[in-house]
Structures are given as C-alpha cells and as structure tokens.
C-alpha cells in the first residue's frame, strides 16, 4: 500500500514537470509572436 502511494506521488511530480514544460514553451511561443507583432507595427509606423 505504501509503495503504491509513492508511485502516485512520483506520477504527480512527473505530470507537474510535463505541464510546466508545456506552459514554458507556450509562453515562449506567445512571447515570440508578440515581439513579431510589435516589430511589424514599428516598421509600419516608420514607413507610413
């Protein structure tokens, strides 16, 4: 029974790590997109 509880705890930790990695890559992606968007706006305002 105790071993079983340990396995569940380990799985929760692994899941948390996977989720945090996913959110990290998602945030990085969003950050890049926002920067691209800002760059386009700046270029437009400079040329226009």
Q: Which two structure tokens, joined as six digits, stand for 41?
A: 């706006």
Q: Please give the Cα distance from 40 to 33 (Å, whole number).
A: 11
pTM for the whole thing?
0.51
d(CA 15, CA 9): 10
Q: Please tell me the distance from the alpha carbon of residue 38 to that of residue 13, in angstroms, as a whole number.
A: 37
Can you give the pLDDT of all 48 residues of the chain as single tens digits? 567 777 778 888 888 988 888 888 888 999 999 999 888 887 888 886
Domain residues of the chain, as ranges?
1-48
Concatenating the DSSP letter of every residue in 2-18 gives HHHHHHHHHHHHHHHHH
């Amino acid at each position: 029974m105790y071993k079983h509880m340990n396995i569940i705890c380990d799985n929760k930790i692994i899941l948390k790590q996977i989720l945090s990695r996913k959110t990290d890559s998602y945030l990085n992606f969003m950050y890049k997109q926002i920067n691209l968007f800002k760059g386009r706006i700046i270029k437009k305002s400079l040329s226009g």
